[in-house]
């Protein structure tokens, strides 16, 4: 019963949505619209529940002084500041100037500085990759080097030759690999969707 | 109650619904769609890998590495990527989170058996709930419910940078680290943070642009379609794997015989007569 009810629900709802995709029927369309609205509501409720769970988790961390009390304190303070800025009487919500300033002045630069570390981490990952599997990582580094050379901002005859070679590399071999990968992923995605629909996946080892 | 009238009404309702319907794609495309579904369902009926048995993502070593982690008193970390299930990401990305759940279940069972705490992280609350269910199920299946609360699934908050930042800020070093699911530009930061000096790592993603990150950092990798194939391989026990290998050899021998026979026939040798002793 514990597994049968969710399985039956998934199968029935999935088939209703699939049927609506194939058949034009007003009753079916209404039913699938209601189901999709329920999914949106569920996602919204999940977001609120997520926020509450996050606060509860970090309050408990703080109360028991477990791994990182300072981190929990910063998180809770940030949470409170954003909530107050978005919910104080007369606030315009997410479009309030205070919220906009907090996002543009604090959150934006924080995210930008995080992503700025990508170059450093890419070099570190390359070193780790060369240690783990030298042949494949070496090939990857060589390919990256070729692409960098092709994209060098050079002028003259050499520059135009490099630009046309870069265009060819992007349009033919790289696009071919990506296309092949995406087709493979699309096929197994469809299989995975069917397996979820008929509830094949599950722990059984 | 007039059962006959009820049945008549039901039939009339179904008839009226069919009468009010039309095929959105026309008869031939609809038939083609149904044929594709039938093929998919036939694949579903035989989920075990047919043509080859590989150790995708080095997942066959999970049991051994958990035993090593238990001896060392370490823990294991599992990230479900950054796409989640109910987040504003593409369906292709979010389905990767669902594909990662059987892998999480496999790791959770191995961790439960070995008594290793498993720390699961996600930036989507629905994915966290699914992970919690996987942890509960793993401890129930292995009769280790007394250890259940040593493992936990944690919601990291909204946004991809939150996942990457928290993974990088995690102070503890896991013995085994997994990251499977949809990834985006932050993949290098997230994977590096999850790995965090772990003895053993297994990373998987079907996000085409982030595959190189998993290949550079992870020891075991599930690349592209492999992320979806791995759960099928995990399902089979060793006897099933042996069966598949034996069947593969028989198929290879049969194919070789067919090719050889065709070549002999093309060369003018009457193979059928020779075999029949004529």
Q: pLDDT, tens digit, for every residue of B210-240?
A: 888 998 888 889 988 888 878 777 765 555 5
Contact residues, chain B, for A46 at CB < 8 Å: 86, 124-126, 129
pLDDT in tens, chain A (205 residues): 456 677 778 778 888 888 888 888 888 899 999 998 988 888 888 888 888 888 888 888 888 876 778 888 888 998 899 889 988 888 888 889 999 999 999 889 988 998 898 888 899 889 888 988 899 899 999 999 998 999 888 888 999 999 999 999 888 888 888 888 888 888 777 777 776 666 655 444 4
Partners of residue B220 on adjacent β-strands:
B202
Contact residues, chain B, for A142 at CB < 8 Å: none
Query: Largest Cα–Cα distance of chain B, in whole Å?
Result: 80
- Nearest in space to A54 (alpha carbons), one of A95, A82, A19, A33: A82
Contact residues, chain A, for B128 at CB < 8 Å: 50, 53
Three-state DSSP state, B237: coil
Residue with tokens 């039956």, as numbered in its chain? A8
End-to-end Cα, chain A, rounded Å? 21
Q: How many CA atoms lie within 13 A of B190 on its CB side?
A: 32
Averaged pLDDT, B5-13: 86
* Alpha-carbon gap, residue B40 to A190, rounded angstroms: 7
Residue of A nearest to B47 (CA): A200
Please indicate whether, in this complex, the C-beta atoms of B225 and A54 are within 8 angstroms of each other.
Answer: no
Q: In which band, very low, low, confident or very high, does the pLDDT at B58 lie, cut at 50, 70 and 90? A: confident
For A170-182, b where at least 16 C-beta lie within 10 A, e where not — what string? eeeeeeeeeeebe
The 8-class DSSP code of residue B74 comes to -
Q: In which band, very low, low, confident or very high, does the pLDDT at B244 lie, cut at 50, 70 and 90? A: low
Query: How big is the CA angle at B66 (ends B60 and B72), to the nearest 5 degrees?
Result: 145
pLDDT value of residue A205: 46
Q: Given a cut of 90, is residue B80 above it in pLDDT? A: yes
Please indicate whether, in this complex, the C-beta atoms of B164 and A192 are within 8 angstroms of each other.
Answer: no
Which two three-digit tokens encode residue A68?
Answer: 């990182």
Contact residues, chain A, for B228 at CB < 8 Å: 185, 188-189, 191-192
Higher pLDDT, B250 or A52: A52
Cβ atoms within 10 Å, residue B180 = 30
pLDDT tens-digit readout, B92-139: 888 899 889 989 999 999 999 999 999 999 998 888 888 988 999 899
Most A CBs within 10 A among B86, B109, B140, B149, hence the mutation to make, goes to B86
Please indicate whether, in this complex, the C-beta atoms of A46 and B213 are within 8 angstroms of each other.
Answer: no
B249/chain A closest Cα distance in angstroms: 25
For residue B44, give the nearest of A21, A178, A200 by CB distance.
A200
B277/chain A closest Cα distance in angstroms: 48
Please indicate whether, in this complex, the C-beta atoms of A201 and B106 are within 8 angstroms of each other.
Answer: no
Which two three-digit tokens encode residue A203?
Answer: 């722990």
Contact residues, chain A, for B33 at CB < 8 Å: 22
Tell me which H or E stretch contains B179: strand B176-180
Which ranges of A23-102 would DSSP assign to H, the alpha helix? Answer: 26-64, 69-87, 97-102
Task: Give yes or no for a contact between A203 and B109, defined as CB atoms under 8 angstroms apart.
Answer: yes
Q: Does B29 touch chain A (CB under 8 A)?
A: no
Contact residues, chain B, for A184 at CB < 8 Å: 224-225
- Nearest in space to B158 (alpha carbons), one of A78, A112, A98, A96: A78
Task: Give yes or no for a contact between A16 and A28, defined as CB atoms under 8 angstroms apart.
Answer: yes
Interface of B with A in 55-84 (CB under 8 A): none
Three-state DSSP state, B183: coil
The 8-class DSSP code of residue A103 comes to I
């Amino acid at each position: 019963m514990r597994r049968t009810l969710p399985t039956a629900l998934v199968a029935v709802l999935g088939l209703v949505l699939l049927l609506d995709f194939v058949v034009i029927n007003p009753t079916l369309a209404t039913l699938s619209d209601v189901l999709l609205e329920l999914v949106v509501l569920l996602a919204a409720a999940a977001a609120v529940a997520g926020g509450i769970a996050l606060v509860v988790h970090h309050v408990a961390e703080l109360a028991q002084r477990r791994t990182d009390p300072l981190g929990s304190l910063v998180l809770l303070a940030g949470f409170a500041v954003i909530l107050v800025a978005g919910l104080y009487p007369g606030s315009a919500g997410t479009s309030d100037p205070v919220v906009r300033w907090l996002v543009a002045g604090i959150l934006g630069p924080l995210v930008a500085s995080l992503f700025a570390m990508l170059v450093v981490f890419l070099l570190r990952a390359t070193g780790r990759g060369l240690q783990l599997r030298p042949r494949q990582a070496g090939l990857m580094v060589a390919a990256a080097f070729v692409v960098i050379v092709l994209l060098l901002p050079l002028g003259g005859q050499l520059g135009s030759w490099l630009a046309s070679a870069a265009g060819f590399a992007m349009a033919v071999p790289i696009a071919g690999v990506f296309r092949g990968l995406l087709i493979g992923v699309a096929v197994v995605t469809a299989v995975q969707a069917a397996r979820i629909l008929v509830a094949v996946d599950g722990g059984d080892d | 109650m007039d059962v006959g009238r009820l049945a008549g009404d039901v039939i009339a309702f179904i008839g009226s619904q069919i009468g009010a319907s039309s095929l959105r794609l026309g008869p031939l495309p609809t038939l083609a769609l149904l044929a594709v579904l039938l093929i998919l369902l036939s694949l579903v009926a035989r989920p075990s890998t047919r043509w080859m048995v590989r150790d995708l993502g080095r997942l066959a070593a999970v049991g051994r590495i958990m035993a090593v982690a238990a001896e060392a008193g370490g823990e294991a970390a599992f990230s479900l990527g950054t796409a989640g299930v109910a987040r504003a990401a593409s369906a292709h990305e979010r389905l990767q989170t669902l594909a990662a759940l059987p892998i999480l279940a496999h790791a959770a069972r191995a961790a439960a058996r070995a008594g290793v705490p498993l720390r699961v992280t996600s930036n989507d609350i629905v994915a966290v709930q699914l992970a919690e269910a996987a942890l509960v199920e793993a401890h129930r299946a292995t009769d280790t419910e007394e250890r259940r609360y040593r493992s936990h699934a944690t919601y990291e908050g909204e946004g991809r940078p939150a996942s990457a930042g928290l993974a990088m800020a995690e102070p503890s070093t896991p013995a085994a680290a997994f990251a499977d699911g949809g990834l985006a530009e932050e993949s290098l930061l997230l994977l590096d943070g999850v790995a965090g000096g772990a003895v053993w790592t297994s990373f998987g993603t079907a996000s085409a642009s982030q595959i190189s990150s998993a290949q550079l950092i992870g020891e075991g990798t599930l690349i592209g379609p492999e992320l979806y194939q791995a759960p099928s391989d995990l399902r089979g026990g060793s006897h099933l794997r042996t069966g598949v290998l034996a069947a593969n050899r028989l198929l290879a021998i049969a194919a070789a015989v067919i090719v050889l026979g065709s070549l002999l026939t093309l060369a003018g040798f009457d193979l059928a007569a020779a075999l029949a002793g004529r």
